[in-house]
Chain A
Amino acid sequence: MTANRWLRTAAFMLAISALTAMPANPQANPAAPPHSPHPKATPESVAAGKEVFAGTCAGCHGVDGSGSNGPNIRGVGAQMGPEGVYTRIRGGPIGSGMPAFTALDDATVWKIVDYVMTLGHEDAGVATGDPQKGKAIYESSKCAACHAIGAEGGDLGPDLTHIGVERSIVSLADTLNDPGHNLPLDTGLQERSAYTGYVVYRVVMKNGKAFEGMRVNEDSFTIQLRDAEGRLHSVQKFDVEKVEPEPGKSFMPSYKDKLTPAQINDLVAYLSSLGEA
């Protein structure tokens, strides 16, 4: 009996080692095959990429990349970089419905990449304030309590590392003056439609107590919120009295009365300088 068990254990261990040495799953998503290097992006390549995008990609991603059948891809350029976008187009991400565009030649794919890299960039406009003064205002206003630039700062509000290429000066000023009516779009929440991020909800529990939080995720039965201290609340909608969005509200205070127009101008100039390629 003991010998039998030893034999079985030995067999089992050999089986495990043999299994781990089996040939790779032929259907696993391979990394992009070797490809030509990325030629420098030019206005011509972006325009050509836009042409191809309109024909090939817009059907799923929307004419401006903000989503349709497929997800919003505005801003993916900054997240993934040109190589990452190239690999996505060539490889088709596993588990998504996106096919691998193996039939396009490299030159065409790089043009699409060049165009995709520009998506999510609003035309910045020209800032008239003084970015140096703006940086000082950023610090004295303690923006870093909620916002991160690079590795420094908090995570309650959006990351501002690339905000200068993502938002125009007009929209930056609008947000500073009235954040509640200028909340950014959330790309992570639902893949096929546009949803606003940082929406403030008010929850009233069955015992009458209430709290506010920013929506992190939501479905038909539950909602997950982050309160002003950054704590996560997971709420079953049927277990509470009321769950209601509060349009026009934001955890970010308005700086309209806290800063002079000149100071807002300088702060916008500083923010506008963040994330230059």
Chain B
Amino acid sequence: MTASWRWSATILLFIGAGAAAILPHAAAQTPQAPPAAKDDPVSKLTPDDIANGKQIFAAQCAGCHGFDGSGQLGPNLHGVEARRGDAGIFAVVRNGTGAMPPVMALNDQRVWQVVGFVRTLGDTGPIEAAKGDPVKGKAVYDANGCAVCHAIGTTGGGVGPQLTNIGRSRPPKYFYDFLPDPGKNPPPGYELVRVVAKDGHEVTGIRVTEDTYTIVLRDVGGHFYSFDRTKLKTIEPEPGKTVMPSYGNLSTTDMDNLVAYLSSLKGAQ
């Protein structure tokens, strides 16, 4: 009973986030975007166009860029209008850029609607630069054994996500929020689950995959545990928890430096 409530809550939380982006906003403030040039197609966009662009973004782009455009698999798009310009954004959507496939199914009008929405992402102001020293931050990273679980380039472990490009998709604010309490908002794919088998055996690990009949967990050593669900007594997600310990007890200086180091990780350019 309790487990299924938790499941409903988890599902709803995820869907709710998505629904909030898809369904039209009731009481949202009008997005403030930089003024457009006179002949720019963007200048002809109406608030309805921008709302449509937001909807298309949620459907086509959020999977990689996040519903708020702050990045996940794909980079953070906040402020991209200033970096690329309207025509630049249009071109990227149309043609792709190497890692990003072109978005083929949109006609010109709809691409401009998306451009119109993406322009509003600059609204939160320029991304605050990290204030610490990345070189000192690397020492903090090394001293705290982060490489046991995380890989940067070809060195490090695979328990947690790779950090090779983390500076491209997460602003400094994200790290300040995340590091003291990783369990609050773990990235997708790192949810912790605890199973108790009918024979009393217990395993807690990251859920790799699950379906109606089976579940596979991964422990901190990278070992996989494969279960038939019929052989399990309980399967319980452990919300608010991850395998990653909290780093809330770092000194302010160390935290600033660590955040600066992580923000500098942008992979091969």
A-to-B contact residues, CB < 8 Å: 4, 7-8, 11-12, 14-15, 17-18, 21-24, 26, 30-31
Contact = CB atoms under 8 A, between A and B. Distances in A.
Secondary structure of the A contact surface, majority rule: helix
Interface string B12-31: 10010011001000000000
Interface size class of B (residues with CB under 8 A): 10 to 19
B129 interface: no
Given A8-B8, A30-B104, A14 B64 contact: no
A7 B8 contact: yes
Contacts of A4: 4-5, 8
B12 A11 contact: yes
Secondary structure of the B contact surface, majority rule: helix
Contacts of A12: 11
Given A14-B18, A18-B19, A21-B22, A8 B58 contact: no
Contacts of B11: 8, 11-12, 15
A70 B266 CA distance: 44
A90 to B, nearest CB: 14
A18 B59 CA distance: 8
A18 B104 contact: no
Given A11-B8, A30-B104, A23 B15 contact: no
B227 to A, nearest CB: 23
Contacts of B36: none
B23 to A, nearest CB: 10
B9 to A, nearest CB: 9
A24 B105 contact: yes
Interface string B34-75: 000000000000000000000000111101100000000000
Interface of B: 4-5, 8, 11-12, 15, 18-19, 22, 58-61, 63-64, 101, 104-105
Nearest to A24: B105
A14 B60 CA distance: 17
A19 to B, nearest CB: 10
Contacts of A11: 8, 11-12, 15
A28 to B, nearest CB: 10
Given A7-B12, A23-B61, A18 B22 contact: yes
Nearest to B105: A24
Contacts of A22: 59, 63
28 contacts: A4-B4, A4-B5, A4-B8, A7-B8, A7-B12, A8-B4, A8-B8, A11-B8, A11-B11, A12-B11, A14-B18, A14-B19, A15-B11, A18-B15, A18-B18, A18-B19, A18-B22, A21-B22, A21-B58, A21-B59, A22-B59, A23-B60, A23-B63, A23-B64, A24-B60, A24-B104, A24-B105, A31-B104
Contacts of A26: 101
Nearest to A18: B18
B17 to A, nearest CB: 10
A255 B42 CA distance: 73
A26 B59 CA distance: 14
A12 B11 CA distance: 8
A30 B12 CA distance: 34
B164 to A, nearest CB: 20
Instruction: Name the residue among B8, B11, B19, B59 with the largest chain A CB count within 10 angstroms.
Output: B8
Contacts of A8: 4, 8, 11
A21 B64 CA distance: 13
Contact of A14 (B15, B61, B101, B105): B15
Contacts of B61: 23
A14 B19 CA distance: 7
B64 to A, nearest CB: 7
Contacts of B105: 24
- Top-8 shortest CB links A-B: A21-B59, A14-B15, A23-B63, A11-B11, A18-B18, A26-B101, A11-B12, A8-B8
B118 to A, nearest CB: 15
Contacts of B22: 17-18, 21
Instruction: Name the residue among A11, A22, A30 with the largest chain B CB count within 10 angstroms.
Output: A11
Contacts of B58: 21
Nearest to A14: B15
B47 to A, nearest CB: 22
Contacts of A31: 104
B190 to A, nearest CB: 20
A12 B19 CA distance: 12
B159 to A, nearest CB: 27
Contacts of B59: 21-23
Instruction: Name the residue among B4, B15, B63 with the largest chain A CB count within 10 angstroms.
Output: B15
Contact of B15 (A15, A24, A30): A15
A23 B18 CA distance: 13
Instruction: Name the residue among A12, A23, A24 with the largest chain B CB count within 10 angstroms.
Output: A23
Instruction: Name the residue among A12, A21, A26, A31 with the largest chain B CB count within 10 angstroms.
Output: A21
B60 to A, nearest CB: 5
A8 B61 CA distance: 27
